[in-house]
Amino acid sequence: MSAPVQRLDVRGIVREFSGGAGVHGIDLAIAPGEIHAIVGLNGAGKTTLMRLVLGMLRPEAGTVSIDGVHLHDAPAALWAGVGQLVEHPLAYAELDGRSNLVVAARLHGIGRRHAGEVADRAIAEFDLARYAEVRASRLSLGNLQRVGLAAALQHEPRLVVLDEPTNALDPAGVILLREALLRRAAAGAGILVSSHHLDEVARIADRITVINAGRAIGALDPAGIDLERAFFAMLHADDLERPAA
Ligand SMILES: Nc1ncnc2c1ncn2[C@@H]1O[C@H](COP(=O)(O)OP(=O)(O)OP(=O)(O)O)[C@@H](O)[C@H]1O
């Protein structure tokens, strides 16, 4: 029997910056229905890895496949099945929240007739009704983040990539996002998420990969009891083994 197609399959990906920073050969796979979290200190390479996965950065070596399709062969339609929030929330400052969502839905291949309906569902899902008609430029950071997350998830992507998505969220937003991700995973999406909040990650992730100095150095057990201690022990052992360049 052939191996099932992974939502995301990253093999030996490398992108090095001057001074030795970057990503130095990471393998990572996400099966349908799986939530895979990456954790690491500031500058470990999480965002760089996500930018490589999304084709925003070109790798020097290694491959990325989404649903079995190599990125360099990827038709535009493949991106309609991806939802991402890496760096700034997608938002046109002069458009209100709902209009931003309609534009994002259209960009992800949702037809004109359905885009409004999709946006309205996302507004309900992220509790944005009060802000639907507020210009993006006037939204608080957290509400802008909610709009960005809604835009990343509303078209029901098969692969979701989110970089530190809870950073600007209030506790209610954190819960809404958690539920939104669990629903997508239950429906078969693969989800890659980075975070600095080990406890939050442990609540939703099936797998947690630790990134240090541009490498994947091990996994944390989401059901483990003292994730923080295990995390720092892993970093410490890796730093001893491979002193900083
Ligand atoms: N375009 C670039 N040119 C040079 N160096 C870069 C570039 N992009 C990232 N880096 C460096 O690569 C390393 C990894 O950065 P990256 O943003 O991937 O880390 P991160 O794990 O996402 O960190 P954080 O938790 O702070 O967001 C850092 O040392 C960063 O300064």
Residues 72 and 178 in one domain: yes
Residues 53 and 123 in one domain: no
Instruction: Identify the H or E element spanning 215.
Output: strand 215-220
Residues 132 and 185 in one domain: no
Q: Are 144 and 177 in contact (CB under 8 A)?
A: no
The pTM for the full model equals: 0.95
Residues 163 and 60 in one domain: yes
Containing domain of residue 240, as a range? 1-81+157-245
Residue of 48, 163, 209 to mutate, ligand 1, most atoms within 8 A of C-beta: 48
Residues 150 and 241 in one domain: no
Residues 38 and 63 in one domain: yes
Residues 7 and 75 in one domain: yes
Residues 141 and 172 in one domain: no
Question: Percent of the chain having pLDDT more than 90?
Answer: 87
Q: Provide the domain count of the chain.
A: 2
Residues 130 and 69 in one domain: no
Residues 62 and 148 in one domain: no
Tell me the two tokens of residue 217.
């150095």
Helix axes 141-153, 112-125, angle to 10 degrees: 130
Distance CA 88, CA 160 (A): 16
Q: In whole angstroms, how far apart are CA 29 and each of 20, 38, 50, 150, 236?
A: 25, 12, 13, 24, 25
Of all atoms in ligand 1, which is nearest to the CA of residue 48? 18
Choose the final residue of a domain: 113, 137, 155. 155
Residues 180 and 233 in one domain: yes
Under DSSP, the state recorded for 6 is: P
Q: Are 64 and 9 in contact (CB under 8 A)?
A: yes
Distance CA 213, CA 188 (A): 31
Distance CA 7, CA 11 (A): 13
CATH of the domain at 239: 3.40.50.300
How sure is the predictor about 228, in pLDDT bands with cuts at 50, 70 and 90? very high
What's the pLDDT tens digit per position in 88-124?
A: 876 789 999 999 999 999 999 999 999 999 999 999 9
What's the pLDDT tens digit per position in 15-74?
A: 999 888 999 999 999 999 999 999 999 999 999 999 999 999 999 999 999 999 999 888
Ligand 1 shell residues, CB under 6 Å: 17, 21-22, 40, 42-48
